[in-house]
Structure 1
Amino acid sequence: MNLLRKTARTLLAFALLLSLLGITGIASAAGSNQVSIEVATRETSLIPGSSVMINVKLSDLTHENQKLRSAVLTLSYDEKAFNTEGKVRFDETLGKYIWRADTYVIPSKTYETKDYLIEAPYPVDLDPADGRQEVILSISALNNKFIHSEKDEAFISFYLTVNKEAPTQNTSINVLAEETVLKDAAGNSFKAFESTYAKVYVGIPKQIEIVRGTLPPTSDPFNVSLNSGTELNALAIFNNGDTSYITEFTSWDTTNQQVITSPIYGNIQAVALGKAEVTATFGNVTGKHEVQVYPKGAPELIKKEVVYVTRIPDERMFAKAAVVQIKVNGKTAGPGRVFDGATYVPLRSVSNLLGIEVKYDNVKKNPTLKGKAVPHFYTFSGTTYIWARDLPVLLGAKMSWDSKKTTLNIETSVQK
């Protein structure tokens, strides 16, 4: 009996130690029905200069004794890995910095109703000497409602920027339990909650593979017919085995512009017969791949060319895509999104700034610009987005990426 008591005391002390250390996945005395604060990212490996969306949700809210009326959450991150550059603005009314409206989203329609109040996240630094920064998030249920989501969805998602000089490391975004306050209908606070953290690897990839569309890497040359184009992506491979498309962040080039044009975000055009290499560089890492241009209808194309389809995102995943600014000839368009290495821009907003009427091809079932069918488009929440990389072909536009401001600049002579 004494041995059992001693073992029980040891286990209890061990659980308490883990809790104090912030290790997740350990249930407290409240049991399995306790509230859970979950912090997650879609990307688990990130390159310096990129943005990452942090998704935060409250789950296991069905227990009668822990119905939430409000929650104020404090998240912490390593300031060597992340910053808020380009993400926050100073609000004169509130007298503090808050996340800009285009750098945080409420991804669930459940929380967009009049029954909830979700304020803009704002940054704080609770301990300037600890090398970490904090983000304050808040949600309140109104009209005698409780915080609840049948689909167990995130109530808010916000963006952080990876430092350009971020050291290669494993890092995390986690909940500070002692700075987090959950309240019930009576205004009573309780600490019966668990939390999970988002674990992220930050660093330069060890290798870059140039792939066709979203096909797996291959050592075979890309066979392209004369006077046609193809779309390539830069696939980063990290030391931890993760992969991520970094097409928009790499510098593209070709070894022979007489055979294929210099790639624009991976877009190439075959202009003469022959061979050339395409290169994609990020930092000190360069990926290379050979391109062979054949006459149209050549046997090599029939035997070896693979038809590829670029994946169109579903609504739920697209809602979590990183938001970026879009500038058209210096004017601000609606925000775009980066998904799987491709930047999507709002069609109507861009066309309005250029004074171009968007039409519709009833045969191809595509929107058109200047009589050309838009090959890649996606409608999300009433807004039609198109691939930015299609704009050079459609409008002869030139594009440049400002990673410091997380902005895609589009320049074209077609304007009002």
Structure 2
Amino acid sequence: MCILRKTTAALLTLLVSIASFTGIVTASTSASISKKLSVDVISNYSSLLPGQSVMVSVKISNIPSDHKGLRSAKIAVSYDENVFSSEDNIRFDKALGKYIWRDDNFFIPSKTFETADYHIDNPYPEDFNPADGRKEVVLSMSALNSKMIDSTADEAFISFSLTVKNEVKIQNTLINIVSEGTMLQDTTGASVHSYGTISKQLLVGAPTPKRIEIVRGTISPSSDPFKLIVNNGYELNALAIFDNGDTAYVTEQASWETTDPQVIATLGRGSLQTIGLGNASVMATLGTMTGKHEVRVYLANAPELIEKPVVYYGIQTKIPNEKSFAAAKVVQIKVNGKTAEPGRLFDSAVFVPLRSVSKLLGVDTGYDSIKKLPTIDGKTIANCYTFSGVSYIIARNLTSLLGADMQWDKNKTTLMITSSAKKQ
């Protein structure tokens, strides 16, 4: 089947420095200083665009290692309901009789907590005080098999998504732990009341970019003209670059124009259609800032179309064994703004779960029982690797297999994947 048209990454990361404005106190107790049991809100993001989704993670740090270590935790996370929305991230569960976070909008980022020794429920929404302008997300985890909640790896046990409302103006906001709805229990069943919390401060809204670059896919900006084939459709991105060097894709927020509609036509959201031979420019405007890039349209067999190969992330192909793969660094993966199962980073290559990513890209996978390999559109995927019963492919192969574009976040902890027109 044909893959869904690329949903341009308007929800991708805007990582704008917040050092220039006065911060809010974000820690009721500093766990790093006091070494006191602490419940922490963390995120890879510091700033967010209107309409952008953000993954919020929670971890419990400095857990006592003695016989009174933690057995269970119920944690309430509070956010400003005028800034964030969760409506698109939840569903009603008939069996539970309440709304819970959809499976594709939360995940367990740690291999430690994915085992049978722990049980983690879907987060669910609450509103403890309807008059305070805030809402809560309740998270639950319990240790099984006579185990304790272990934080020796200093890992978050859950991540869930919130979405910044489109009408939000530039402002500071805080995501924090609240005592109401939060309950920690040790291995004797006694409640643990002595703990600190660390909150997450964010800047929401969008400052004016320094400039806008128009790029193909996630390839770095270049002044070279785009060389395109006549009578074809293409997908472009508008990349906003800010004074401090941070970047964000603003493709869907930008308005698109062309200098010569007889050569190229813009269909909005970065979609481009080549109409006739010749040169023209495509422009993307966000607020008062406009980016412009030259486009040259040729016949299909024109020698000018020969391009040098593009080098993508993770060019090595060393394959891990089961043990080394399990120990590899966890990589968060978002597909068209939705959370996929996590991948692993091994020897500079990112391995992504084929079925989870394919599903979010709108592509059905199958299985060839004779060759014992997964399939896409009936074709077997030879370069596929199975660990613990899950099939993985190396991320750089997503472009040729699924027509997908990729982009790392600033800290290279989240691989963001967007779909594009599938290559025939």
Instruction: Give your verdict on TM over 0.5.
Output: yes
Residue 317 of structure 1 pairs with residue 331 of structure 2:
yes
Contact 1:120 1:137 in 2 (8 A): yes
Taking every aligned residue pair, what percent have the same amino acid on both sides? Answer: 40
Residues 68 and 188 in structure 2, CA contact (< 8 A), matched pair in contact too: no
1:374 aligns with 2:376: no
In structure 2, the CA distance between the partners of 1:248 and 1:66, relative to structure 1 (3 Å rule), is farther
TM-fit CA distance, 1:210:
2.3
SS of residue in 1 equivalent to 2:294: strand
> Which stretch has the larger CA shift, 56-65 or 169-178?
56-65
Alpha-carbon shift at residue 150 of structure 1 (Å):
4.7
The aligned counterpart of 1:173 is 175
Report the alpha carbon displacement of residue 48 of structure 1 after superposing the two structures with TM: 1.8
More relative contact order, 1 or 2 (CA 8 Å, 6+ apart): 2
Counterpart of 1:204 in structure 2 is 206
Q: Are the counterparts in 2 of residues 214 and 310 from structure 1 also a CA contact under 8 Å? A: no
Partner of 2:282: 278
Distance of aligned partners of 1:138 and 1:171 in 2 relative to their CA distance in 1, 3 Å threshold: same
Q: TM-score, normalised by structure 1?
A: 0.66
Partner residue of 1:256? 260
90-99 or 244-253, larger mean C-alpha shift: 244-253
- The one of 192, 195, 200 equivalent to 2:194 is 192
| Residue identity in the other structure for 2:419 | A
Q: Deviations over 1:294-332 (max 9, x none)?
A: 65445xx89xx876445479983343664179xxxxxxx
Closer, same or farther in 2 for the Cα pair 1:165/1:253, shift >3 Å? same
Instruction: Classify 1:245/1:307 alpha carbon distance in 2 versus 1 (closer, same or farther; 3 Å).
Output: farther
Aligned residues: 339
Find out whether 1:345 has 2:345 as its counterpart.
Answer: no
Counterpart CA distance in 2 for 1:173 and 1:53 is: 12
Q: Displacement, 1:225?
A: 5.1
Tell me the SS of whatever aligns to 1:126. coil
Aligned partners of 1:226 and 1:272 also within 8 Å: no
SS at the partner of 2:91? strand
Question: Are the counterparts in 1 of residues 107 and 339 from structure 2 also a CA contact under 8 Å?
Answer: no
Partner residue in 1 for 2:27:
24
User: What aligned pairs does 1:1-400 form with structure 2 within 5 A after superposition?
Assistant: 23-24=26-27, 26-27=29-30, 32-61=34-63, 63-64=65-66, 67-177=69-179, 179-207=181-209, 208-217=212-221, 220=223, 222-224=225-227, 226-227=229-230, 232-237=236-241, 242-247=246-251, 250=254, 252-262=256-266, 266=270, 268=272, 272-281=276-285, 284=287, 287-293=290-296, 296-298=302-304, 308-309=310-311, 311=313, 316-319=330-333, 322-323=337-338, 345-348=361-364, 357-360=377-380, 374=401, 376=403, 387-391=418-422, 393-394=423-424
Check 1:185–1:223 CA distance in 2 against 1; reply closer, same or farther (3 A cut): same
Structure with max Cα Rg: 1
Task: Give 1:102 deviation, angstroms.
Answer: 2.2
SS at match of 1:58: strand
Alpha-carbon RMSD across the aligned residues, in angstroms, is 4.3
* TM-score under structure 2 length normalisation: 0.65
- Displacement, 1:90? 2.6
Query: Residue deviations 1:146-178, cap 9 Å, x none?
Result: 112553322111111211211221212111245
Q: Is the 8 A contact 2:57 2:159 kept in 1?
A: yes
Q: Is the 8 Å Cα contact of residues 206 and 239 (structure 1) preserved in structure 2? A: no
Q: Shift of the alpha carbon at 1:76?
A: 0.8
Determine if contact 1:50/1:161 at 8 Å carries over to the other structure: yes
Contact 1:117 1:141 in 2 (8 A): yes
In 2, the alpha carbon distance for the partners of 1:271 and 1:60 equals 62
Asked if 2 retains the 8 angstrom alpha-carbon contact of 1:72 and 1:181, the reply is yes
Q: Distance in 1 between matches of 2:360 and 2:280?
A: 29
Mark the CA change 1:75 to 1:362 in structure 2 (over 3 Å): closer, same or farther.
Answer: closer
Q: Return closer, same or farther for 1:125/1:44 CA change in 2, 3 Å cut-off.
A: same
Rate the CA distance shift 1:38–1:386 in 2: closer, same or farther, 3 A. Answer: closer
* C-alpha distance after superposition, 1:43-97 (max 9, x if no partner): 3222222221111222333532762111111111111110112112233333322
Deviates more, 1:53-62 or 1:180-189: 53-62
Counterpart Cα distance in 2 of 1:131 and 1:309: 48
Q: Distance in 1 between matches of 2:377 and 2:157?
A: 37
Q: 3-state DSSP class of the match of 2:109?
A: coil
Distance 1:306 1:263 in 2: 28
> Higher helix fraction: Structure 1 or Structure 2?
1
Helix, strand or coil for the counterpart of 1:89? strand
* SS of corresponding position for 1:102: helix
**C-alpha spacing 1:376/1:59, structure 2 compared with 1 (3 Å):** farther
Change (3 A) 1:311 1:289: farther
Q: In structure 2, how many angstroms separate the alpha carbons of the residues matched to 1:169 and 1:132?
A: 15
Change (3 A) 1:214 1:357: closer
